[in-house]
Chain A
């Protein structure tokens, strides 16, 4: 199933009240969902929340016991639409995705469900993919909360707070008839820690109850005149109810002491980093005890005006620690204070960078700058551990360390697609390449340097739809199988058929939603007990009306090159689709390696293939690497005393995919590549034939060695 198995973690989901749960943040959230009596969970995988989906996919049994319906949604829009179940019924539901990209996709349904309002608690768990490790455009989910008037939770990043906020989130949602978002930053999703568990709860009102007793309330449908009523409801009923709940339940925290006339307002998610900054400045201990007054916003939206005013009254300056831009909170706090006639200066982006992640270092600098100006008398520790390196040293290090962009894994079946494309471009000239989201996007990096834009998941072909004119060169678009099923089938293929597009689409069909952790999809080859797989992409494409469809094995570089060239050059008009097929190597190895190990151990004859480079014939030009970029195809010192350039070298990570050999053939490279077949547990024929060959070859080699000895130098 997915890249990582959660067999062990699933057991942890069952633990009861008083037991301690150890694990990752996102798994703790999953446990908290079950403790909250959730009836249904949906979502779309993607870092950093993939593990929530993966663990639930592995937890069928326990979900069955609790009568929870889990769905791997087709897209974030489909997941958000699931929340419709809570509009008419007292069902608690949770959905999850990577944000802001997933929230973009989900927005239509999210806005609708928020307009309708809910009676069952709804929690939207978003992995805020922002800062180091992020793979998407840098935006804030905060804006979505504001525009739809959904509430946004941003808990302190420890497992106790996070799980507590999950449970509170459902209550808040029900108290205010509004879906609630819970945002978790990348590291919080993956933080390993512990919390004291509670018993799981089976919902009193079940999905079956709902299906057998359908309820209908005309006023909950988003259509005039109800839609206008909804807007008023949001302002007059739901907002005040939310404020009341947040205040009464003390979801935001007032911490620290009463020192002086300054204070700090911090987003919950940044609390730990802020405490560390204060600790390093000598202003807090390891437990976060500090003399400085802290107002911690576990609810980032809406702001509680009275709390803000009370906190800031009689202070000369307040530091607003708010990551990302625009600085919605800082603006809102300013506006609240102005209206309330409170004079405190709000200092936020004045001392912090306007954009980018607030790392420990950034926070330390910003807090120090704030204190320098507004509390110069405050006693502080000297700066922590200054480097012993001088400027020259630091510069030398910075100049030396090479960039290490992410890339295709060893043996990745997507690599040869781009090797072939590079060779095709050599033959017929450069063409415009519209990329998509997925591992295949690594094509934009060296050594391929292929790809112009990426517009979003599944939008590869739509991203090239304007480039449709009489032309001597067609465009090529890329789409992964993940993006294809997510929406590319309609936004790309349907769109191209309908508009009589004449360009080329390459669909990478590797059997998994590989970039998000190897989840199954409609076209996966593997059998899956709970899902329908083996729905061929080519059939879907033909069904939509594409006539020119070719399925090609990605490792057959020669054929791939030929098919691509045909697609680019054929006189036939209309959309052309190449389905490039081979299983994701990461998942294949995960499946096959243990089987092979076992077979070898059991004495079964096994042949393992791998590749090598002959250092004698390699001249050190590295054309092979420029066509591949495989991590296992690397360099080593040239053993030849006459040559200086390093030779290519295949290291022991090689999985024998054959791309380097295929490239050597397709691009007519040097004769240095060889494939080695290592035989384990040879049979009698293996042994006999090897003995005979060995005798003949050995004899001939000895003859040749004798000749060489006549000319020996030492």
Chain B
């Protein structure tokens, strides 16, 4: 076969994604089709999960033979001189753009899926970066931009992302080789041929025909309509709350009823209504909607009853099978990593008993023998399932428990703060409501969240005097989620109170 022009191909990938396999395939493809092929990579530490570039140059053999000279091929891509960029993840496409590899002459083929970077994963809230600007820049920068969720393609075909990208390269028509020439390379290599070809086909079709939809199995819903026991609650919600709040309040109501019973749902609506009464309705009743969300989360607090219930549900059993990709009839045993402490036990006891235990070091020591270490509970076996099932049925104890008493007091206190602020600054009240987000998790995480929440609500008076109390509150909220050790929050708080004291001094001088 005689080829007319050279091709410069950069693969922007993550270590461990098989970029080396892909560049090897492209080399073989080129050599079979009458090219002189050269590829390079930068192995070493980058291959341990870092970002890395593989680079391939294909030069027509015929032209070299005519000149009786060997072409001088480069060992790294030059910005503005790359014909094809294959990016194994959307942010890596962004990295290729950032490095100037993507220009008008470039066909950019990228997978739309995300592999989150460590910086995004360790955030205490949502530290994920949106890839929106990358999509926009890719559309604008590339001569041709082809994108599909290649990870989904790889999962659906039980193959690897390299074979999907190879298929996408074939489907893009950026190289003069035909589909069967690509497939021959995979066949020749003789490893995992079937799944690689399946992945290849998925990639080919994804960019050629835009077939990227992978059907997600959905839970079968028995749409039996609301049960009689909850109908009055729903009617009350629809009758007494503005429409803008319905969606969120409905979810909230559902959650608290699921947590306890319809009576608890009615308490939820009472509490929400007390906020609605103060909501002036601006911006779609944002205050009430925000409270609807966070009140439900708080009222459906995590205790052992709830955890035991969630762990034993039939829906959960179906879900973990799906999550671990179990075959239809495969036996799957699941065991939970639990670490019940004395605190969790006490949470369920009557307040007086709980306080007695928590205050008595002897009792703590005795009980500590049973609660000192982590346990693995085999939920799919009876000796794990039955205890959890029994704990889950202890709902009737909840209202008289220590935890319920504590949470009720905290919720009421929080609602008081929200309602008070609502009287003079709706946005401020909304931000106070949103602070509930800080309280999450279990054990130390929960304690830390609660401490941060308390530290911020303790300075509401100072916040109230700021030019923009809502914004100042949001700043503290963000600072609380900035790091685990509370450094940012302490700094933000001392800035806030320091400034306050500073201006107080200034007033005193004046």
In whole angstroms, how far apart are the Cα atoms of A446 and B49 in the complex?
13
Cβ B324 vs Cβ A612 within 8 A:
yes
Cβ A384 vs Cβ B104 within 8 A:
no
In whole angstroms, how far apart are the Cα atoms of A623 and B441 in the complex?
9
Q: Does B348 contact A (CB under 8 A)?
A: no
Query: Which of A47, A680, A708 contacts B44 (CB under 8 A)?
Result: A47
Query: Which of B46, B122, B312, B330 contacts A678 (CB under 8 A)?
Result: B330
In whole angstroms, how far apart are the Cα atoms of A145 and B188 in the complex?
46
Cβ B40 vs Cβ A190 within 8 A:
yes
A271-283 to B contact mask, C-beta < 8 Å, 1/0: 1110111001000
B355-384 to A contact mask, C-beta < 8 Å, 1/0: 000000000000000000110100111100
Cβ A397 vs Cβ B133 within 8 A:
yes
A667-678 to B contact mask, C-beta < 8 Å, 1/0: 111110111111
User: Which range contains the number of B residues in contact with the other chain?
Assistant: 35 or more
Query: In the complex, what's the smallest C-beta–C-beta distance from B256 to chain A, in angstroms?
Result: 10
In whole angstroms, how far apart are the Cα atoms of A614 and B313 in the complex?
12
Stretch binding the partner chain, chosen from A86-94, A478-486, A693-701: A693-701
Given contacts A389-B141, A401-B94, A711-B257, contact A361 B324 (CB under 8 A): no
Cβ B335 vs Cβ A675 within 8 A:
yes
In whole angstroms, how far apart are the Cα atoms of A309 and B381 in the complex?
86
Stretch binding the partner chain, chosen from B66-74, B174-182, B203-211, B457-465: B66-74
Residues of B contacting A247 with CB < 8 Å? Answer: none
B100-133: which have CB < 8 Å to A?
100, 102-106, 115-126, 128-131, 133
Residues of B contacting A615 with CB < 8 Å? Answer: 319
Residues of A contacting B440 with CB < 8 Å? Answer: 619-621, 645
In whole angstroms, how far apart are the Cα atoms of A650 and B71 in the complex?
47
B330-371 to A contact mask, C-beta < 8 Å, 1/0: 111111111101000000000000000000000000000000
Cβ A668 vs Cβ B297 within 8 A:
no
A186-222: which have CB < 8 Å to B?
186-188, 190-193
Query: Which of A389, A622, A702 contacts B137 (CB under 8 A)?
Result: A389
Query: In the complex, what's the smallest C-beta–C-beta distance from A157 to chain B, in angstroms?
Result: 6
Given contacts A286-B59, A286-B71, A671-B307, contact A635 B128 (CB under 8 A): yes
Cβ B374 vs Cβ A664 within 8 A:
yes
Stretch binding the partner chain, chosen from A128-136, A257-265, A488-496: A128-136
Given contacts A669-B445, A675-B376, A676-B320, contact A697 B382 (CB under 8 A): yes
Residues of A contacting B257 with CB < 8 Å? Answer: 711, 713
Cβ A407 vs Cβ B48 within 8 A:
yes
Given contacts A280-B81, A612-B324, A671-B442, contact A406 B234 (CB under 8 A): no
Cβ A133 vs Cβ B71 within 8 A:
no
Q: Does B251 contact A (CB under 8 A)?
A: yes
Q: Does A288 contact B (CB under 8 A)?
A: yes
Q: Does A248 contact B (CB under 8 A)?
A: no
Q: Does A393 contact B (CB under 8 A)?
A: yes
Q: Does B227 contact A (CB under 8 A)?
A: yes
Residues of B contacting A190 with CB < 8 Å? Answer: 40-43
Residues of A contacting B296 with CB < 8 Å? Answer: 642
Cβ A406 vs Cβ B78 within 8 A:
no
Cβ A360 vs Cβ B330 within 8 A:
no
Cβ B226 vs Cβ A629 within 8 A:
no
Query: In the complex, what's the smallest C-beta–C-beta distance from A195 to chain B, in angstroms?
Result: 10
Cβ A385 vs Cβ B380 within 8 A:
no
Query: In the complex, what's the smallest C-beta–C-beta distance from B270 to chain A, in angstroms?
Result: 18
Residues of A contacting B324 with CB < 8 Å? Answer: 610, 612, 676, 678
Residues of B contacting A612 with CB < 8 Å? Answer: 320, 323-324, 334
Residues of B contacting A386 with CB < 8 Å? Answer: 80, 103
Given contacts A397-B137, A679-B330, contact A617 B302 (CB under 8 A): yes
Number of A-B contacts (CB under 8 A): 395
Query: In the complex, what's the smallest C-beta–C-beta distance from A440 to chain B, in angstroms?
Result: 11
Query: Which of A397, A674, A697 contacts B98 (CB under 8 A)?
Result: A397
Cβ B103 vs Cβ A388 within 8 A:
yes
Cβ A288 vs Cβ B72 within 8 A:
yes
A363-393 to B contact mask, C-beta < 8 Å, 1/0: 0100000000000000000011111110001
Q: Does B185 contact A (CB under 8 A)?
A: no
Given contacts A388-B140, A680-B330, contact A674 B78 (CB under 8 A): no
Query: Which of A187, A408, A635 contacts B121 (CB under 8 A)?
Result: A635
Q: Does B473 contact A (CB under 8 A)?
A: no
In whole angstroms, how far apart are the Cα atoms of A386 and B445 in the complex?
50
In whole angstroms, how far apart are the Cα atoms of A383 and B78 in the complex?
12
Cβ B441 vs Cβ A700 within 8 A:
no
In whole angstroms, how far apart are the Cα atoms of A686 and B44 in the complex?
45
B2-16 to A contact mask, C-beta < 8 Å, 1/0: 000010000000111
Cβ A675 vs Cβ B334 within 8 A:
yes
Cβ B69 vs Cβ A397 within 8 A:
no
Cβ A446 vs Cβ B307 within 8 A:
no
Residues of A contacting B282 with CB < 8 Å? Answer: none
Residues of B contacting A439 with CB < 8 Å? Answer: 48
Q: Does A447 contact B (CB under 8 A)?
A: yes
Query: In the complex, what's the smallest C-beta–C-beta distance from B21 to chain A, in angstroms?
Result: 12
Residues of B contacting A616 with CB < 8 Å? Answer: 310, 316
Q: Does B241 contact A (CB under 8 A)?
A: no
Query: Which of A398, A610, A623, A698 contacts B484 (CB under 8 A)?
Result: A623
Query: In the complex, what's the smallest C-beta–C-beta distance from A610 to chain B, in angstroms?
Result: 6
Q: Which of A396, A644, A667, A711 has the most CB of B within 10 A?
A: A711
Q: Does A641 contact B (CB under 8 A)?
A: yes
Stretch binding the partner chain, chosen from B217-225, B407-415, B425-433, B497-505: B217-225
Q: Which of B121, B125, B255 has the most CB of A within 10 A?
A: B121
Cβ A396 vs Cβ B137 within 8 A:
yes
B33-56 to A contact mask, C-beta < 8 Å, 1/0: 000011111111111111111000
Q: Does A7 contact B (CB under 8 A)?
A: no
Q: Does B385 contact A (CB under 8 A)?
A: yes
Q: Does B478 contact A (CB under 8 A)?
A: no
User: Which chain A residue lies CB-closest to B325?
Assistant: A652
Given contacts A187-B40, A383-B80, A674-B379, contact A402 B117 (CB under 8 A): yes
Cβ A388 vs Cβ B121 within 8 A:
no
Cβ B316 vs Cβ A614 within 8 A:
yes
Cβ A273 vs Cβ B140 within 8 A:
no
Query: In the complex, what's the smallest C-beta–C-beta distance from B222 to chain A, in angstroms?
Result: 8
Cβ B80 vs Cβ A679 within 8 A:
no
In whole angstroms, how far apart are the Cα atoms of A625 and B484 in the complex?
12
Q: Does B284 contact A (CB under 8 A)?
A: no
B111-167: which have CB < 8 Å to A?
115-126, 128-131, 133-134, 136-137, 140-141, 155
Query: Which of A400, A610, A614, A704 contacts B129 (CB under 8 A)?
Result: A400
Cβ A714 vs Cβ B221 within 8 A:
yes
Cβ B48 vs Cβ A193 within 8 A:
no
The 18 listed contacts between A and B (C-beta, < 8 Å) are A186-B44, A193-B38, A360-B81, A384-B80, A396-B136, A406-B47, A610-B324, A612-B320, A642-B251, A650-B323, A674-B334, A678-B330, A679-B331, A686-B331, A693-B382, A697-B380, A709-B227, A712-B227
Interface residues of B (CB under 8 A from A): 6, 14-16, 24, 27, 37-53, 59, 63-64, 67, 69-81, 91, 94-95, 97-98, 100, 102-106, 115-126, 128-131, 133-134, 136-137, 140-141, 155, 221, 223-227, 229-230, 234, 248, 250-255, 257-258, 261-262, 293, 296-297, 302, 307, 309-314, 316-317, 319-320, 323-326, 330-339, 341, 373-374, 376, 379-382, 385-386, 389, 392, 437, 440-445, 449, 484
Interface residues of A (CB under 8 A from B): 47-48, 129, 132-135, 157-158, 160, 186-188, 190-193, 271-273, 275-277, 280, 286-289, 359-361, 364, 383-389, 393-394, 396-410, 439, 442, 445-447, 515, 558, 610, 612, 614-617, 619-623, 625-626, 629, 631, 633-635, 641-646, 650, 652, 661, 664-671, 673-680, 682, 686-687, 690, 693, 696-698, 700-702, 704-705, 708-714
**Nearest 7 A/B pairs, CB to CB:** A665-B374, A385-B80, A133-B42, A360-B78, A47-B44, A385-B103, A402-B117
Q: A701-B313, A704-B314 are in contact. List 6 more A-B contacts (CB 8 A).
A: A384-B78, A620-B126, A674-B335, A677-B334, A704-B309, A713-B234
